[in-house]
Amino acid sequence: MNSLATSCIETPANSERAWLTPLELCLLAAMWGASFMFQRVAAPEFGTLALVEIRLGLGALVLLPFLWIARSSFPLRLWPRLALIGAINSAIPFALFAWGAQHAAAGVGAITNSMAVLFTALVAFLFYGERIGLQRAIALIAGLAGVVVLASGKTEGDNVAGAVAAGVAAAFMYGIGANLLRRLVHGIPPVALAAATLSCSALLMLPVAVASWPEQQISPKAWFAAVMIGFVCTGAAYALYYRLIQRVGAARAVTVTYLVPLFAVAWAWMLLGEALTLPMAIAGALIIGSVALSQRAAS
């Protein structure tokens, strides 16, 4: 990315960017990695739908100022598209991961989440005729092999295969959502767009969340985890992610995908006592390696 001249002459701005980008990538990975750990704490008490509603609502609340500033970019005819994208790219994947968090270790969801990069290329190939290339095809096969290893292994949880299937389905929904965003929505500030889709999803989920709200009292620990998922791991993380995209480009920002499973496993090990098993390590290496190979093919 940097030319020989810029590598030899380091300005204050370049010096700041050199340390700021890795710092923000690690911070973002820590936020998204923590979301899988927090779901392990909150989902058993809230249940799937109630937790997703809290996540969507609080995440949208953090980003609403950006939506208000860019409100002129959202004509009425655009909102049905935003509702569709919100359901595909937020509500359904969040629900799948919340369900999976009740049945398997946090690292399982985080590892399957990494497949979203590969599925974005696959959906573009299957439905939009984009060329996938040999290197990306190999990456996809390697990633799917990692999924098989993960689903067949023994980890902490009573339905690991189901949690893996839910995580893979969520990652595939992210792949569909990424392609829809690229083709259906143009010229809108990304953070405001995230606020709009999260808000639509929260409104869509509200009736079923209210109907399924748990009858038992929810512990302060679960409430803390749910609030952290919404405010920090969704709202603040989205804002940071789009800030990175605007400053360093999507190709570099998406490298956060490699770090999220590492942070998820580390958080769950430190705070929940969940161990990294050999199948998780092998599957993580296959999937993250395949994502790296896919990104190399795209560059």
User: 22 lies in a domain?
Assistant: no
User: 150 lies in a domain?
Assistant: yes
Q: What is the mean pLDDT of the chain?
A: 87
Which range (143-147, 223-227, 251-255) has the least confidence?
A: 251-255
Q: What share of the chain is helix, strand, coil (3-state, %, to 5)?
A: 85, 0, 15
Of 295, 276, 299, 296, the residue nearest 111 (C-alpha) = 276
Dihedral, CA of residue 229, residue 235, residue 240 and residue 245, to nearest 10:
110
User: 13 lies in a domain?
Assistant: no
Q: Please count the other Cβ atoms lying within 10 Å of the Cβ belonging to residue 74.
A: 17
Provide CB contacts within 8 A for 116, sequence distance 6+: 171, 172, 174, 175, 178, 257
pLDDT at 283: 87
User: 138 lies in a domain?
Assistant: yes
Of 180, 202, 205, the residue nearest 78 (C-alpha) = 180
pLDDT at 251: 67
Residue 249 has pLDDT above 90, yes or no: no
User: 257 lies in a domain?
Assistant: yes
Of 20, 202, 237, 32, the residue nearest 116 (C-alpha) = 32
User: 6 lies in a domain?
Assistant: no
Average pLDDT over residues 125-146: 86
d(CA 191, CA 175): 19
Give percent of the chain above pLDDT 90: 56
pLDDT at 1: 43
Average pLDDT over residues 246-250: 76
pTM for the predicted model, two decimal places: 0.88
Supply 115's token pair: 């497949």
Q: Tell the residue number behind the tokens 């990695």, with chain if given.
A: 33
d(CA 10, CA 14): 6
The total number of structural domains in the chain stands at 1
Q: Which residue has the higher pLDDT, 134 or 18?
A: 134
Q: How far is CA 134 from the centre of its chain?
A: 26
Which range (9-23, 198-212, 261-275) has the least confidence?
A: 9-23
pLDDT at 133: 82
Residue 153 has pLDDT above 70, yes or no: no
d(CA 109, CA 126): 25
Supply 76's token pair: 């009425």
Give percent of the chain above pLDDT 70: 90
Provide the residue range defining the domain that includes 196: 27-298
d(CA 57, CA 126): 33
User: 19 lies in a domain?
Assistant: no
Residues 180-238: tens digit of each pLDDT: 988 888 888 889 999 999 999 999 999 999 999 999 999 999 999 999 999 999 999 99
pLDDT at 3: 39
Q: Tell the residue number behind the tokens 């927090």, with chain if given.
A: 38
Residue 30 has pLDDT above 90, yes or no: yes
Residues 161-178: tens digit of each pLDDT: 899 999 999 999 999 998
User: 20 lies in a domain?
Assistant: no
